[in-house]
Amino acid sequence: MIRTVLFCFKQSVIQMWRHKGRAFTTVFSITCTLLILALFFFLTVNITFATEALKAQFNTIEVFLLETTTEEDAQVMIKSLEHMDEVDKIEFITKDQAMEEFKDSWGSKGYLLDGLAANPLPNSLRVTLTDISQGDFVAQICSTFSGVEEVRYYATEVNKILRISDALQKICVVIIIFLIVISIFGVYNTVKLNVMSRQDEIMIMRFVGATNWFIRAPMLMEGVLLGAIAAGISLVLTSEVYGRCIELFNEQVKVLFSTGLVPRDFMMQNLTWIFLALGISIGSIGSIFAVRRFLRA
């Protein structure tokens, strides 16, 4: 068994070396496909994380209080709200706490807010909902309280973001499937040309009693190796590119969405297995189709 596997591996490497041009073209094709897949994967994962972060933020209602509203007045409001089934919890946020949170959302650039002459943020109540669909009802009740300057709830914006996120994820899935099919076709052509160029050798092998599996195995191994090589190259490139993107854009994303890009280690840990599975699958499926088509018993 081991000798057979080693023989298949040796023969596939020999054929890849003999037909370096075709092998390079196939590896380049699969690599490009995986790199584009990585782009959509990064977009999809980060959009999903950002959406979940936004949902967590917008599961709350911010009730901004007038300067004349005391903490005792705020406690009266809290008691009026805390008995409601739609309300999970209520927090009183002082203006100093609000400023600290605001600085944290700016990340490393939070020090810029230290230059403000005075804290412009008001005291507020942060009402966390048990059900986001009841947000409009709770917000309407909060607006009736005396001492409230503004009630801020972004239900409409959240629903729009969720719809856009869902549409983008579906588009990414369609594009990913399309690219995978193209890559399989590329491997198919490579192995097909390899089979056609070895017709005489294959005929001799059949005459001396070689089974179809013995003839096909090195070609299948070739497809697997081409896919694995492409996956390895793609992983190295995507890791470097994504790491660079985090360095350049993480702070800007954090300011916009209050959450940064997904960490590179987490992303690459998951992408490694996806790339290996896709690369090997693309190579092997393309080889299987080509071998079945041109080496039928």
| 18-52 residue pLDDT tens | 777 777 877 887 888 788 888 888 888 887 787 77
How many residues would you count in the chain?
A: 297
Tokens encoding 10: 């040796």
Q: For 68-125, what is each residue's pLDDT tens digit?
A: 888 888 888 988 888 888 888 888 988 888 778 777 766 666 666 666 767 778 889 9
Q: For 246-288, what is each residue's pLDDT tens digit?
A: 888 887 777 666 677 888 888 888 888 888 888 888 777 777 7
For the four alpha carbons of 202, 206, 210 and 213, in that order, the dihedral sign comes to positive
Q: For 213-247, what is each residue's pLDDT tens digit?
A: 777 777 778 778 888 888 899 899 999 988 888 88
Q: Which domains does the chain have, with CATH numbers?
A: 2-54+162-294 (no CATH), 59-153 (3.30.70.3040)
- If phi > 0 it is left, if psi is from -120 to 50 it is alpha, else beta; for residue 262 that is beta
Looking at residue 117, what DSSP letter applies? S
Contact 295, 202 (CB under 8 A): yes
This prediction has a pTM of 0.62
The count of other CB atoms within 10 Å of the CB of residue 185 is 14
Contact 119, 96 (CB under 8 A): yes
Tokens encoding 189: 């052509």
Contact 92, 34 (CB under 8 A): no
Contact 158, 57 (CB under 8 A): no
Q: How confident is the model at residue 297 (pLDDT cuts 50, 70, 90)?
A: very low
Contact 224, 280 (CB under 8 A): yes
Q: Return the residue matching tokens 């490497």.
A: 13
- Going from the C-alpha of 157 to that of each of 66, 123, 253, the distances in angstroms are 25, 24, 18
Cα–Cα distance measured from residue 87 to residue 80, given in angstroms and rounded to the nearest whole number? 11
